[in-house]
Every structure is written in C-alpha cells, then in structure tokens.
Structure 1
Amino acid sequence: MRVMLQIGGVVEGTAFPEPVRVVLTQPVGKKLKVGGRGLRSGQYIELLLDKTQVDSLRISPPEPLYDGDASTFRLAIEAARLSLAYEYDPYFSLSIARVDPLPHQLEAIYHNILPSPQIRFLLADDAGAGKTIMAGLLLKELKARGLVQRTLVVTPANLCFQWQREFRDRFRERFDVLRGVDLRSAYGTNPWQDKSQVLTSMDWAKRDEVKESLARAEWDLIIIDEAHHMSASDPEHKTERYQLGELLSQKTDHLLLLTATPHKGDPANFCLFLQLLDKDVYGDVRSLEDAMQRNHAPFYLRRTKEALVTFPDTNTGEARKLFTHREVRTARFMLDGPEFEFYDALTRYIQNQSIRAAADASARGRAIGFTMAMYQRRFASSIHAARRSLERRLEKLEKRLRRPEAVVPFDERRLEDIDELPEDEVTQVVDEAEEASLPAERRAIQEEIADLRPLVQKARDLEAREVSTKLNKLREVLSDQNIFGDPKTKLLIFTEHKDTLDYLVERLGKGTKDRPGWGLKVTQIHGGMPIGDRDKPGTRLYAEREFREEAQVMAATEAAGEGINLQFCWLMINYDIPWNPMRLEQRMGRIHRYGQEHDCLIFNFVAGNTREGQVLETLLDRLWEIRKELGTDKVFDVVGEIFPANMLERYFRDLYAGRTTFQSLLDRVVKDVDMERFQRITNSTLEGLAKRELNLSAIVGRTAEANERRLVPETVEDFFLQAAPIAGLSVKGKGSVFNVGRVPRPLLAVGERLEPRFGPLGKEYRSITFDKRNLTDDPTLEWVTPGHPLFEAVREQTWERAQDDLRRGALFYDLNRTQPARLEVYAASVADGRGRTIHRRLFVVEADSNGGFRVRQPTI
C-alpha cells in the first residue's frame, strides 16, 4: 500500500541527505516543494521535486501503524540507551577501561574536572599518583559524550613511550607519536591535521619550524605533561616552551596541565603559568592573591603522596597508605692503587683537553667540554665503559690521521635539553658531540693519540687482572641481601651507559668461556631495544615480562627509567649515579609505586676517594637531610626546580677546565641544595591554595551507587549477540568467550565512519569476551564493551537498520497488565551557550487508556 505524503510523515530517498520529518508541502507548477527537519542533524532541508522524485520517496506515516518488528524495535531502543550509558553511570569509564582506579583519581576526574563545561585545569598531584590514568579516564569520558575527537598530548620526549603504552593497554586508545621525520616526509600535507590522536615531544614542538605547522591545527583536547617546563620568569622573558604553551592554549577548548611541581613558591611566576589556562581570569597576581585568601581554586587540584590511600578493606574497613616505606643507602667503596692511578691519569687527560676547550668559544669547544665530562662519567660507571669509550675515540683519531676529513658541524643547542630526550636520541647526540670534538689538525691528532694509547693500555690491564673494587662491592651487597641464596628476591640494577650494562649482564649472568659469571638469570633493557610487545623477544615489554616471570635480575639503562612497571621487585641498585638528580626519583619510581607490597631498599654506589664521588655523595646526603627534616619525598620531586638537570655537568666542566676549585664546587653544591629554598616551595601558601582533603566517605558512597547503576557484562553480551545478525555477523562460541570471525564489508564502512571517536575497527575478531574478569586468566582476549569499535559499529548498524521499524512502531504484550497503554520514547538534550550538547537522556512516557501519563526508564 502506497503511503501518502503528509505533514508529520518521514521521507527518505536519494534526493535527501538523511531521513526528514515533513513540515511543508507546497505545489510549485508541476513540481512539489517539500521541507522538513533532518532526523539526524536537526537542520531544515527544503527541496523542489518532480513527480519521478516524489514517487521514488520512501514515506512513513505521521502516526505509527504498530506493524514494525518488535524484536528489532526493542534492540534499537537498547542501542540508543547503551549509547548514553555514561549519563546513567557516574563512573562510566571504569566499565570500559582496564583500570582499577583509586579514590583520589575518581575524585579528581568525576568531582573536580569533568563537571566543568569547558575544562581548563591544572592537576598537580605528587609524582606516582597516576596522573596518566586520570588523563585517560577524562579522555574516555569526553569521547563517550562526543565532545572530543581530536586529542594532542605534549610531553618530554622520554615519556612519549609511557603515555603511548598506558593509553593503548589501559584505555584501548591508539596515539601516533609525531617526530621530525614525519614532518619532513609530509609533502603538501599537515600531519598535525591528518592524525586525530597525537603524542609529541615538548622540546621538538617548541621549534619555530614545527610550531608553524602546529599552529594550523585545531584540537578538542590538549594534555600537557610535566607542564612546569612551560613556566616563564616574567612577561618580558618567555621561554620557547612557554610560547609553545601559549600557542596550544589558543588551539583547544579543553586543556589539562599535569605536573608534580606547579610552582616555585613565587606568586608572580605561578600567575604567568596559570595564564596558559585563562589569560583573563589570571591576568594579574591580585586575582591569585584573592584566591589564596579564600583558600579556593576550582582550576587547581593538588594532593600529596603521603595523603593518598586505597579504598577501605571490605573486611576491616581500613584504608591503607598508597606507598610503602623506602630506604636509601649509600654503598661507599674506595678505588685501590692501580685503579686510582688510572683515574688520576684519565683525569689529567680530561683536564688538558678541557682547558683547551675553555679557550675555544665555538660549538666545537662546547662539544669537547661535554665529551670530556662524559668520559669521566663513564669511568665512574665502570672501567669497562671507560676503556670502550677511549678505544673508540682512539680508533676515530687514527682513522682521521690516515684519512683526513672535514670538520663535522655541530649544533650545540642539541645539548641543552639532552636530559629530556629518550635514550636512543641521547646516544645520537653524544656520538655527534664526540665526532665534533675530534681535532682537525694533524699535529693535534698525533698528540692526542700519544696521550690516549697508554690510557687505553692501563684500562685493558686492569680489566685483564679483574681489578674492580666496585664490582667486589656489588658482590658484597648482593650477598648481604641473599640474592645468591633466594632466587625469589629480584634485583633491578641501573646504569647510565650501555657498555657498563653489557659488562654487568656478563658478570652477573653466565660470563664468558675465560671468565665465568655469577650464574644469575639476567634480562636487560636499553635504549637500542624497540618497545615491541610482551611476546616478542628482544623488546622492552618482553624483557619486563621475562623479569616478572623468569629472570631474577634486570640490568637497565635510563630506557627503563620511565614507562616500565616493576612493582613486583623491591631491591634496586644505582650502579652509577646520574648527574641529573631527577633521574634518581624516576628510577626509584619503577619499583616504589602503587601495587608495591614490600618496603623498598635502594643502594647508591659511590667511589669515596674520587672528586666526582665526593660531590655526588655530598649532593645525596644533602637531599636526604632535607627530606628527613621536611618529612616528605616531595624533595625529590622539586629538586629539578632548585638544581637543574645540567647544573652538575656544568660544575664539573668548570672544574676540569680550571675555572673553579674542588672545594669551591663542593661549597656551591651545599649552597644550591639549600633547606630554605626547598621549604619555600613545599611550604608555600600556593600549596595551601590547591590542597584538598580526600573525601573518602563520599567517594565510597558514590562508588557503591555507580556499582548499582553500572552496565553489567550480561547486558552488553545479550545486546551484542542479538544485534550481531542484524549487523551481518555470525557469532560462535560458548561460555564467556566468542569467535566473531571476519567483519563484513558494510560493517567495516560503519566502523570507518566511527573511527575518529572510537578508534579503528579490526577486520577479524577470533576471541572476544564481554566480562573484564576473564582478562585475569587470559589477557590476550579482546574485551568488547561500549566504546569498543566492534561494539559501537554493531550498535550503530542496528540503530540505522531499525529506523523503519522505529517509525512504524511495534506491539508488545505484558502478561502482568490488564489495560492497554501507549509508550513513546523521547531523547532530550541540554546544550550550552555555543550550541554544544552537554547532556542527553532517553526516557519513556507511558499514556494509559484513562488519559494518565507517567515517565518510565528506557529499560522498561
């Protein structure tokens, strides 16, 4: 039967871009003007149609005929309800993310940040509070609401891997890391605009040539980690990083700044930092002082490590402290006669080269000073590392003597932010500096070769005689900690240098044919290893898994200092001490983190009779004295503000070049690491501005409410299995694991359309589950929930294919009713001043035969 075109009816056809509810029909000559509202967009559409076009329209009557398929109708309503699950579950993201968040994380996101219609927020919890988890929860909630499709995360380069891994593993969000090679290869396109979820390095993005293309991209959400790097001393002296922050602030609606050290105790400096959030609100210090007097700052949240607790135990009701105790000891050793003679000879060589470099103000002079300081650091690491470094330099000099080469140009700016770079890039910069430090004149080359040959021979002799008081000290410490007697006691041992790593792996493990090792099962992580995955040998994630399941010892360079989680290990050794004290906290954070059940013990190895060892020992002692006095580990979080990353290296270069004395250097360290300066930051009134006591009882109560309203796996599973045939899927399986097989082409097209919001849809799914608990036994299962691209594609396809049944209506029978009733399903939304939807709800109005009305839940 042909349905007539009427006002209130719905028409579909090739002439219209979407289904339209008719509000106007008007003859115009031999044609018909038809106007109406699009059911998807809400926009008014008006067309002039000829008879052929009118006849081709699919028309649904204004009043339902109630002859639609009841099962399809019910599935479509369920599809609509599941698309709005975030509106009913106050902690929705917990149902779709592989996280078990802590009370302070829930409070931060759901009580402080998410309620804001426009998010401009500074989250400044102490290190280890899980700010990456909080950022991921926020991202999932905003994406579920359709408020975010394009996200940019800006972080120090050495943290990119950690962010990429956390988002992928915990939140099923894939981010592309954008680097220089991507920009150089993007002819005629803008990769910032082409990719919807991007991770990038702060120090790369601050470059003028990068900012130029970055300025042409708009984002829905920008997250900046370690945001304190974007501070400025005053409005007239803005750093390149601060200027990058200003640019990014203008390119997004939602901006989240993350840092554990938000201020330096200076309100004016802090006010400039907050202007990245809002220039008008924080335009001057007075506005900040007003907030300080009220002790209220809705834009700013900060909780200290000591205040963080777990959820109360269900049996005892006790909430435990989040972090166990940690003890740090200095393992002091003294170089013996032959070792000290080698150290003395190496120091003279380094001083002679450094004095020459001091007279050279060029980039080459800077490269020489840096390289010589690096050689001294490598000796402090191990004689093996020093020997290999000197041998490589000798080989390069001899090669240059045989075949003179042009001087290699060197960009000394590459050294400024070297501590922020990932290890593979650090190696590249060090190699470039080492190459640039080589002399060009034949006579200078010959002189340096003459200096180096006896040094190399001394190092070889020491190694051949197995002279190493440091290695002996290591064996002593391991014996005291019963490493050799208890295979279950795991050890994490850090070194800065790959050569030392190779040496330790050999000595701790099997050794060589001529020199047997200590027989421990050893794995390793270094910057030359790809990230990979947990099932691919030779990758970092495989090594992490191997350490957890098989190996007793992990030897690691700084590549394991971030992004690797080793809380199953409680014993750590810093075989060499990084000259950047912030690295110590990063290393300790691999084991001293949430999930650690044992008190942690850390040993710092220091040579007590070398100048470098005495300086490092003084620095460490000062830090621990201040930590004891202040009673907080925050000392290690803010040390970078007081003692910048490259300060110690500069001090040592001054010493080697004769610009300062050893005693003056020690005095400078004591003066710089000053109790008063730490107190100024940790006890600043700015701290009180943001500190908020954790309302644990409120969080527990709301969590109970969320558990009652949360989508249970059975609901998700029932919908998916019933909707799958409509979407063209044939699901097989029993129990709680199912095989979907290949995804049909029409569904792939739907997935492609939804990709900006939910990520890429796979072409095949062999083992899926709807219950998160099944991942404990088999983490390789694909967990399908709302927000998963497969689930969302099936949900969307079901909704689209049910439109005709929805317009026609359907009849349902209720055995518990005696009177008929009419149910009308409505979707209502609330928009902000800019027309953006901020809330949506689905509800049902029931009209009975007596003219009465009542509102029902869509689960009816």
Structure 2
Amino acid sequence: MAGPLHTLRSGQRWISDTEPELGLGTVVGVEHDRVTVSFIASGERRIYAVGNAPLSRVRFAAGDRVESVDGWSMQVEEVEEQDGLLVYLGKDADGKPRTLEEIELNPFLQFNRPQDRLLSGQIDPGDVFRLRIETGEKLARLEQSPVLGLVGPRTALIPHQLYIAHEVASRHAPRVLLADEVGLGKTIEAGLIIHHRVLTGRTEKVLILVPNMLLHQWLVEMLRRFNLRFSLIGEDAYEDAAEEGSPFKDVNLALSSLDFILKDPERRRYVLDVAWDMVVIDEAHHLEWTPEKPSPAYAFVEMLARRTPGLLLLTATPEQLGKLGHFARLRLLDPDRFFDFEQFRQEEQEYTALAGVIDKLLDSPRLDADTLGQLQHFLRHDRADALVGDLNDPEHAAAARNALIQLLLDRHGTGRVLFRNTRNTVHGFPSRLLHGRPLPLPEHYRTQKASLEARLWPESARPDPDWWRHDPRVHWLLDIAQRLKPSRSKLLVICHRQQTAVDLENALRTLGGVRAAVFHEGMSIIARDRAAAWFAEEEEGAQVLVCSEIGSEGRNFQFAHHLVLFDLPLDPNLLEQRIGRLDRIGQHHSIDIHVPYFEDSAQEILFRWYHEGLDAFHRPAAAGAAVFARLGDELRRVLLAPDTHAGITLIQDTRTLAETIEAKLHAGRDRLLELNSCRPEPANRLVEAVAAWDRDTALWPWLEAVCDAYGVVVEEHSTDCYILRPGEHLRVPKFPELPEDGVTVTLSRDVALAREDMVFLSWEHPLVRGAIDLVLNGEHGNASLGFVSHPALASGQMLLETFHRIECPAPRRLQLFRFLPTTQLRTLLDHRGQDLGRIAMAEFDERPQTFEPANVRAFVRSQKPNLEKLLALAETRAGTRLTEIVADSSRRMLDEMTNELKRLAALRSVNPSVRQEELDRLKDDAVEMHGYLQAARLRLDAVRLLITV
C-alpha cells in the first residue's frame, strides 16, 4: 500500500506486491521520497520510491494467529495503533493475555490469508481453487454421516459388530462387557469402538491390557485393521523410559499386559497416575474375585476402573465361570448398580417371565390375558397404554409390537452393560465335521503310574525324549499331513503341553519332511508371530502349525479348516477356545476336527464325555462350564479309574444336565441378551449406510486431483488399486502418511480383506484425512483468477467470488460438527457490489487462459480500492447468514440433547444401569456447546477474481 510520506514509520511491517516470496519486510528507513525495507527471511533489502512503492501494509485482524520473533504465538483479539505502529492484544496457547508490537512479529510469517495473496497478486490455478472448495464440501458430508467412525476400518460389514460398535461408541463414557461367543469378533468390536471414539474426538487416551501372548496380535490388528498406532509398553520400553520416569505418561494409545504391570508396584502407580479416557481388558474372565478375597489382578483393575470413565471388558465366557464370576465383572463396570450379589440373583428371577412376554410379542398373533397382564406389569411406569391398545388395531399392531419390544429391552436386564451374541442368532458360521480316531493304547503307556495327567497326556509321564517314535498318534498325524499336502491344506495342531508341541514339530520334520512351525509359551512374542506368519503364507509357508495350549486363546487361523486335537483339555471352555481358532465368522469351509484317542483309556472316556454328553465338537456347548462345575469331580474320578458302566452313567447325567441348563439359559437371560445385543433393523441400516460409502465413487477422483496438485505420482496397479509415490516436485516437505518409497492402496473393501499388503483407503483413512487437512488448512488454492462466460453476463465484467468458512473452535469430544459441520458461505458480487449469488459456481463456462504474473499484479493493484470494498461487503453479507446458521444449529442441538436427556431420564427411572453421570454430562455438554456456537465466527477461506469473456 503506497501512501504519503507521513504514513511510513520505521518498524512498520510491509509485504512486496511484486515479490511476495521475500516474506515479511520491516521499514528500516524513510528519507525524502525513498523508503528502505529489510526482508530478513530472505536476506534481501529493497529501496522504493514512496510515490509508487509496490507495498502492502501487513495488518492482522481479530481471530488471526500471529507469532513472535521469540517463537511464541497468540490469537489476536484487538488491534491498537500507537505512533503509527500496530500493537496486537490477545491470548497465547495457554490462555495467558499477551501483547505483541508489530516490530516483534516473526519475519518468517507466511502470508496465506486469501485476501492478502489476492491483493499481492499471488494467484493459484483454477483447478486447485475448485479442489479446495470441493474438499470443504466432502468434509461437511463426512461430518454429517451417521456412520462416521465405522467406514474406515478394514473389517467385513457384519451386522452385530457394527450394531454393538455404534451403540457403545455413541455413549458418553461406555462401560460394557463384550461377551460374544468365541469367533464372533470381540476384538473387532473393541477396535471399532476405539476407532470411532478416537476419530470423532470423544476419546484421546486409551490403555489396552491383554495377556502376554496376545500383545503383538493386538498391536498388529489395531494398526492393520483400524490405523491405530498403539505404543507397546513392556520390559524394553520400561527400561528405555527409566531415566525419564513413567513410560505411560506421554502416550495416548498404550498397549501392555496385566502381568507386566502387576510385577512392580511402581508400574501400577505409573498406570494409575494417568488420566485414561478408556481402558480395555481382554480375557477378563481371568480376573478372579470373591467378596472375601479378590485376586491382585482384580483389585488393580478395580482401582483403575474407578478412576477411568470408559471401560471395555472382553470375555467369551460371561456366566460359564458361575454367576459369582459374572457378577464380579459387572461390578467392575458399575459398582453402584451391582453392589450386592444376592440382590442381583433376585432380580434375575424376572428375566424368564420378561423373555416369555417378548417371545409372545414376537411370535403370537394375539396376546392372551396372562401375557397382557405381565406386559402391563413390566411397563407400569412407562405410560405405554396407547401402544398396548394398538395391539388390537391391525393397522398399527406391527409398529406397536416393535415399540413395546424396544421399551422392554431398554428398561430391563443388563442390556446396557452386557452384549452377548451367540451362534443361534448370528449366521455365517461353517459346519463342524468330527473325525474321531480310536487307536490302540501302547503297552508302555498302559503300565505307567495312574495320575490324571499320565492318563490324559501319557507322553508327559515318560522321560524318553523319543516318545514320538513309538506313539501311534504321531504316525496317524503324519499320515493326515501327507494326505493333505497335494491340496495345500493347512493343518493346525493343538496339544496340552509345550514339550509335546516341540517334539511333534520335530517328529513331523524328521519322519516325514513336513514343513512345520511350532508355537508355544516358551518362545518370545516375536518368535511366535514369525511362526504364525510363516503358517499364514500361501505358497512357501508352513503346512502345519503345532501349538501348545496358548494357541487356544486369541489367535485366529481361519484361513485353515483342518484342526487336529492331539489331546483333549479337561476344561470345556478350553476345548471351545481351541475349535474357535478356525471356527469363526467369515470362515468359508466346514471345519474338519480330527481327534485321536486311545481305546479303553481315560482319553476315550473324555472324548465320549465331550461328544456324547455335551455335543461339544459339533457346536459350542453353552452349558459346558456349568456342567463341568457340577460334575467335574465325578469326571476326574472316572478318568482316574476307567470303568465302562460309570462312564456311561456319567455321560447320561451330563447330557441330561446340559439340556436342562441350556433350556434355562434360552428361556431367561440369554434370550434377552440376544435380542438386545443386535437389533436386526438398526443393524442392517448401519451395514447399508457403510456399504453406501463403499460404493461412493467420489473418493478416487478427488484424491487423484489432490495428488496431482501436490506432486504425488500415481500409477495404476489393478482394478481399484493404485501405487502412490512422492514425486520429484512435491509441494510439501512430506505428504501425510505417504512413505518415502510409496505405497500400494486399494479402494475396495473386498480386496483389502484379501490382500493385507495393500492399504485400504476410505474417507476415514489417515492418509485421506491428512490430505483433507493439507488442502483446507494450507494456502494452496485460496486465491485464484479465472476467465468465465455466462449467458446472463456481458463480457468484460469483473466479479469477486468469496467463500467464508464458519469457524467454531471447541473441544473435539463435543463433536460440535454434528450440528455445525464445515460450512462454506459463498458470495458472488459484481464490480458495483450487486449480489449475483443466484449464479451457481457450476454454471460458469470456464475459459482457461494463460497470463503473466506481472500483468495480474498490475491489474489487481489498479483495482485494489474497489476489491477491498467488495471484500468488506462480502464479509458483511456472509455475517448475516452466519447469524441465521448459528441460530438454527443451536436450536437443533438443544432439541436433540433435550430429547436424549428425556429418554435417558425415563430409562433411569426403571433401569439403574443408566448412570446419573451420563445425564449430568449431557446437560454440561449442551451448555458448553451452546456457548461455543454463540462464539462462532467467519474466516475468509478462498477468494477468486473472475473476468467475464
């Protein structure tokens, strides 16, 4: 901005219109009709004639962020002028009031405001301008998606998993027990919940505690499936951080084992000192508790749970360890609700009657008087008389039944804190085919001492390291491996003991040249991971993986479908865990279960007890643990002294007891849980909503345009698959999440599930989210010049098109974008200030033309006074719309929050599982959001000068 001599003062900050790349200049001298400006950032000095100096005064406004020469920054709230110099008043990042004189501005400040770049002639190509606008529209659509947080994970679209994730992740501070049967995907559900909450800002600090043997599996799964980079904290990390203190304090996503933490009081203190937002405990059934003596692990988790808002407990056996064990886990989730075991048992008595009423609502065309009476009893506090009356109205009966079922499920039982899906309700599982193989009992095993271990695992009682040369089970196993070799079928072998696994792997190699890997607790975690990875390789991988009992928990080998149970465990839960390594949702083959056992031995009795008593090989035995708790001592007695008659009696008693227990489970608690753990209609809507994002074809053209604009090289790989590499002329030091050697990506969920070597790109992937931030938060594309034609406009006119973005800084946990998403307010003015906003951006016929930068700067300089007036007018008009938008957003927010408060308050009146804390937090959030909405402001995000031709 040129001006009279008296307007220039030493210390003022100006920018060169003709050489904006020089950076922020400082007036160092004004003599006669000359002004000297020093550009420290570029090490240049310029002398200009005052009368026609191509300079513009740098003046930041309220809302801008500025940085001092000392490196600290502040947000401007007021601007004062003292003796011709500007003084900025505001607050720094810590909220501390600050004052900054313009002479103290950092000379390396970038001038990326669109108005500054336009007025200084810094013009970007039109396609980059349009990309910026399009990106804002894409972000707004994503922020409004009802499945935000569920689109990006590399997981199959399975209804019950999406339903649980959406239901749990949407709560203020979720505290739930994920107790799906083995193979239904509890780890996936936990990952979906964490991903949803981290992506939407509701959770920042997460601690996952798992058994030692599952550490690396969780680490890889969280990264590969959910793009969540957890820090693994074990012995190495602990030693590295020893000098600096706690390795947990500066980590947002931490993964560790409970055993590691419990070894040292200091480690326990370090974990408890962190304000975690959420804690996840896998294999929670290992937390033992009695009212008199909780285990150390339980006591520690209880302390951690009391100071952590969110808690996820994962177990496949919620009640199989007994009602006391089940109650112990529920009291971790809500000690105020579950404080007395006897009271808990009394409340359970109503569950059978409640399930009966729901069954009648689901299946009976007309309710009898008794059922109606029970229904009215359960809904006596719910003012549901109108819905009950509609049951007799053919037009409204179906809707009334659905509404009544939802009321009953919401208001009763443990549905809000416990989710348990079973194979009875979730489809997609393979059949199980049992191949039992009786073998003669070797004489040297028959003469061994009669301990239970020696009878079930006879090789354990022999000091002979070459036992496998004489054991018929080994030769039988070798024969199976050889028969399956031509078909390249994988064979998972599980046995009880570590040494048995080691010897079997050696036997397979020595006797048959079989490519076999071993997996046991004596190996390091990395060694186990390598063995599992070698087994997973299709072409050159191991044909057989031999596991000790630790292969029964956590690991998924569903690419295989042949399972050898070299021996049988004594615990029904362990048997189901073993089978569950292969029998999982998504398995495409029948599971062939091969079981050798010695005739006329304890092994045969145990095999028949599982097969004929519990039917545990063909389906999960829901009553297995409860039966074992009742008949386990008798089973051990019979195994120690095998007797045909006693064995037959035990098997008959087992079958009768199992049928009785399973009938009770189906009639009461399990039926309610199944209904509440996955409601089909909303679950299917979630699947369809995510699938719609998968079908959306807008992602790749947009991302390809971003790559082109920023210098990323794109190569086609195959259908829906591409290779991205940093180009030689990358416009930024590093493109978000793009490795230096490039990456192969796919936009197909099916391809991503089959090809783990490819990155699954979605609108939620960190690379895509980083690209969105790069486009919207940088200067690239925020000032442009275009030549256009339109039937309603004569040629030779100058138009100004502006896009103001509504900014409403608020904590991410509030998810304020639900009510005020990224919003761009477009204004189109002609040179006289007349509003031409009726002409949409897409209606212009753009005419690409080349122009010299010097000519553009000259033209802009000649139009500068008028452009400044138009910019001010555009801001005024956008400001009027801002008031209306904020008012509408506030109304929608208050309506939704009020409705949710009423719903939860009604639930709390009949279901104590709704915590008062949830209601209080909702009220506080509503007040907080209203305050932030009222403080929303405008920022000019992009401006384009248009010339009609």
CA contact (8 A) 1:92 1:710 kept: no
Amino acid at match of 1:635: A
Matches within 5 A, 1:478-557: 478=480, 483=483, 487=487, 490-501=490-501, 503-505=503-505, 508=508, 511=511, 517=512, 522=516, 524-527=518-521, 539-546=531-538, 553-557=544-548
CA contact (8 A) 2:69 2:106 kept: no
Say which is worse superposed, 124-133 or 62-71, in terms of deviation: 62-71
What's the CA shift for 1:105? Answer: 1.0
Give distance in 2, aligned partners of 1:507 and 1:540: 19
Q: How many pairs are equivalent?
A: 706
Residue number in structure 2 paired with 1:305: 422
Residue number in structure 2 paired with 1:772: 748
Q: 2:276 pairs with 203, 210, 219, which one?
A: 219
Amino acid at match of 2:428: L
Matches within 5 A, 1:233-248: 233-234=290-291, 236-248=292-304
Say which is worse superposed, 494-503 or 250-259, in terms of deviation: 494-503
Are 2:613 and 1:589 aligned?
Answer: no
Give distance in 2, aligned partners of 1:614 and 1:214: 48
Matches within 5 A, 1:48-67: 48-50=99-101, 52-53=103-104
CA contact (8 A) 1:183 1:191 kept: yes
What's the CA shift for 1:785? Answer: 4.7
What's the CA shift for 1:798? Answer: 3.9
Q: 1:66 to 1:32 in 2, by over 3 A?
A: closer
Residue number in structure 2 paired with 1:408: none
What's the CA shift for 1:139? Answer: 2.0
Residue number in structure 2 paired with 1:715: 699
Q: 1:816 to 1:605 in 2, by over 3 A?
A: farther
Matches within 5 A, 1:77-156: 77-78=133-134, 86-93=142-149, 95-110=151-166, 112-156=167-211
Residue number in structure 2 paired with 1:230: 287
Amino acid at match of 1:620: Y
Residue number in structure 2 paired with 1:47: 98
CA contact (8 A) 1:723 1:798 kept: no
Q: Residue 96 of structure 1: SS of its match in structure 2? A: coil
Q: 1:812 to 1:564 in 2, by over 3 A?
A: farther
Q: Residue 764 of structure 1: SS of its match in structure 2? A: coil
Are 2:673 and 1:690 aligned?
Answer: yes
Q: Residue 323 of structure 1: SS of its match in structure 2? A: coil
CA contact (8 A) 1:487 1:552 kept: no
Give distance in 2, aligned partners of 1:501 and 1:834: 49
Q: Residue 576 of structure 1: SS of its match in structure 2? A: coil
Amino acid at match of 2:805: Y
Say which is worse superposed, 215-224 or 159-168, in terms of deviation: 159-168
CA contact (8 A) 1:301 1:692 kept: no
Q: Residue 25 of structure 1: SS of its match in structure 2? A: strand
Q: What per-residue deviation string (whole Å, max 9, x for no partner) do you get for residues 663-706 of structure 1?
A: 99999999999548955983584434533264444444444344
Q: 2:438 pairs with 332, 335, 346, which one?
A: 332
Matches within 5 A, 1:762-841: 764-772=740-748, 775=752, 779-786=756-763, 788-802=765-779, 806=782, 818=792, 824-827=803-806, 837=816, 839=818, 841=821
Q: 1:671 to 1:142 in 2, by over 3 A?
A: same
What's the CA shift for 1:246? Answer: 1.8
What's the CA shift for 1:601? Answer: 3.2
CA contact (8 A) 1:231 1:273 kept: no
TM-score normalized by the length of structure 1: 0.67
Say which is worse superposed, 571-580 or 554-563, in terms of deviation: 554-563
Give distance in 2, aligned partners of 1:749 and 1:485: 48
CA contact (8 A) 2:154 2:760 kept: no
Amino acid at match of 1:325: S
What's the CA shift for 1:492? Answer: 3.0
Say which is worse superposed, 585-594 or 520-529, in terms of deviation: 520-529
Amino acid at match of 1:211: R
Give distance in 2, aligned partners of 1:53 and 1:711: 53
Q: What per-residue deviation string (whole Å, max 9, x for no partner) do you get for residues 98-143 of structure 1?
A: 2223111111112x11221322222222221111111222222222
Amino acid at match of 1:255: L
What's the CA shift for 1:790? Answer: 4.5
CA contact (8 A) 1:223 1:257 kept: yes
Residue number in structure 1 paired with 2:610: 620
Q: What per-residue deviation string (whole Å, max 9, x for no partner) do you get for residues 268-301 of structure 1?
A: 7655533323334545576994996654345234
Q: Residue 279 of structure 1: SS of its match in structure 2? A: coil
Q: 1:557 to 1:704 in 2, by over 3 A?
A: same
Give distance in 2, aligned partners of 1:776 and 1:272: 37
Q: Residue 317 of structure 2: SS of its match in structure 1? A: coil
CA contact (8 A) 1:743 1:763 kept: no
Are 2:310 and 1:322 aligned?
Answer: no
CA contact (8 A) 1:35 1:45 kept: no
Q: 1:635 pairs with 615, 618, 623, which one?
A: 623
Give distance in 2, aligned partners of 1:81 and 1:254: 33
Q: 1:201 pairs with 247, 257, 260, which one?
A: 257
CA contact (8 A) 1:331 1:605 kept: yes
Residue number in structure 1 paired with 2:715: 733
CA contact (8 A) 1:618 1:670 kept: no
Matches within 5 A, 1:549-698: 553-610=544-601, 612-613=602-603, 616-617=606-607, 619-620=609-610, 624=614, 633-636=621-624, 675=658, 678-679=661-662, 682-683=665-666, 685-692=668-675, 694-698=678-682
Q: Percent identity?
A: 20
Give distance in 2, aligned partners of 1:302 and 1:271: 14
Q: What per-residue deviation string (whole Å, max 9, x for no partner) do you get for residues 8-32 of structure 1?
A: 5746342697886644234579976
CA contact (8 A) 1:529 1:539 kept: no
Residue number in structure 1 paired with 2:871: none
Give distance in 2, aligned partners of 1:782 and 1:833: 27
Give distance in 1, aligned partners of 2:787 and 2:191: 44
Q: 2:229 pairs with 141, 161, 174, which one?
A: 174
What's the CA shift for 1:326? Answer: 1.6
Are 2:825 and 1:845 aligned?
Answer: yes
Amino acid at match of 1:540: A
What's the CA shift for 1:588? Answer: 0.8
Q: Residue 675 of structure 2: SS of its match in structure 1? A: coil
What's the CA shift for 1:576? Answer: 1.7
What's the CA shift for 1:215? Answer: 1.1
Q: 1:792 to 1:769 in 2, by over 3 A?
A: same
Q: Residue 822 of structure 2: SS of its match in structure 1? A: strand
Q: 1:778 to 1:37 in 2, by over 3 A?
A: same
What's the CA shift for 1:738? Answer: 3.0
Q: Residue 573 of structure 1: SS of its match in structure 2? A: strand
Q: 1:231 to 1:506 in 2, by over 3 A?
A: closer
What's the CA shift for 1:224? Answer: 1.5
CA contact (8 A) 1:716 1:770 kept: no
CA contact (8 A) 1:331 1:603 kept: yes
Say which is worse superposed, 120-129 or 11-20, in terms of deviation: 11-20
Amino acid at match of 2:670: E
Give distance in 1, aligned partners of 2:322 and 2:457: 38
What's the CA shift for 1:825? Answer: 3.9
Q: Residue 841 of structure 1: SS of its match in structure 2? A: coil
Matches within 5 A, 1:302-451: 302-309=419-426, 321-328=427-434, 330-341=436-447, 343-344=448-449, 347=450, 376=454, 380-381=456-457, 383=459, 387=462, 389=463
CA contact (8 A) 2:320 2:625 kept: no
CA contact (8 A) 1:10 1:61 kept: no
What's the CA shift for 1:322? Answer: 1.6
Amino acid at match of 1:687: D
